[in-house]
Structure 1
Amino acid sequence: MDQIARAWASFEADDYRSAEAGFRSILNTPGIDKAQQEQAQFGLGYALAFLGQYGEAREMFGQLYHHAGLRGEWVAEHRALHQVGMVERMAENWEAAQTCFERERQLIEQHGSPDLAVSVNAYELGLVALHLGQADVSRLWFSTCLTHAERTDDLIAVACAYRGLGDWFQHQGELVAASDVWEKALLIFQEADNPKAVREVQERQAALGGLGVR
């Protein structure tokens, strides 16, 4: 397992400090190539975000976004911009997050609206709109997320779409509907062998169970 893979393994194990140290070690290695550097910066941005170090995480992803734009690599550009929005969401800067994801949406549209890109962007727009009290807008975005996810062969994207819809139903007080949709998400996350996402959905279901919802 190479250094980048080890650092990501630490991240997946929720050991964000070790992941941060691993990615920083890569960046401090003399002679690493540009691709390795950007992979390590991307991973470090994630680790920092999950450690709550939002300022540095935002800066890391912002640099990646800027450099991708200069190179005209729109996929890398939208991917980095998406992560800037993720940092703002995690920091609960909801309006700033919405601005980032709207900019990402425009970038995706300019390049033909590929289904997976639309899906991951719509998920975030739905989540942010929900927290801003824009329930109808949020529902439309989650529906868009699911529609485009189902056009791909990406199980994680489909499961995330169902998870988002479940969150929407829960937020509206429609707890049985939330339970039903989360069950679909759970089964797909299990099929995709994503134990972390499985646990997250099970925690949602357990909370509903405590309220007496089947």
Structure 2
Amino acid sequence: MEETFLTILDLIGTFAFAISGIRLASGKQIDWFGAYVIGLVTAIGGGTTRDLLLDVTPFWMLDGKYFLTTGVALLVSLLFTNKIFKWGSTLFLMDAIGLGLFTVVGLSKSFEAHLPFWVCIVMGTITGSAGGLIRDVLINEVPLLLRRDIYALACVMGGVVYFTCVEFNLSRSVTELIAALTVIVIRVIAVKFHIHLPVLNSVKVDDNDKVDKT
């Protein structure tokens, strides 16, 4: 039952991230196949990075449903383009949902591997955010992960909540749901109320302060 619940979260996250990738690709004059590739990379990039770090076979090589789910996301995007892509909040909402669900998938799989809690949090963060990072690089955008938005930090907070629930002996399904909602809510609140980390500004050096190396 709990394994089925995790699979459902995984597929919903795949669909949400694929939609967000396809939505971004639509503004880059990319053809249908290119949009599919961008959606697929967004959906499986984080999990692939996680599995490679854990030295296990990447999950999509063992199950083709991730390719099928991305295909469904592309089909939905093509059929409902005017309804989906005209909403500026669509990309953000789908990305937030994918972020939360994939973070939990990464946390749970790492936890099952009996890794230390801090490694699980790192793997959860990678699973949630690395796909978006690869997506942004491919479409020539400044990666959302590297901007001042609270993105990866939301994954970390979700990981902290996950292990807090574990300490209270909550069921696995409840733990995963609470952790996913934590990531999504933090992400939504941060954007809605313009909460972000301070920007690292460059230091201006006066010519008189420069060291004369001659």
TM-score calculated relative to the size of structure 2? 0.29
Which one has the largest radius of gyration?
A: 2
Considering fraction of residues, name the structure with more helix.
1
Question: 1 or 2 for the larger relative contact order (CA 8 Å, sep ≥6)?
Answer: 2
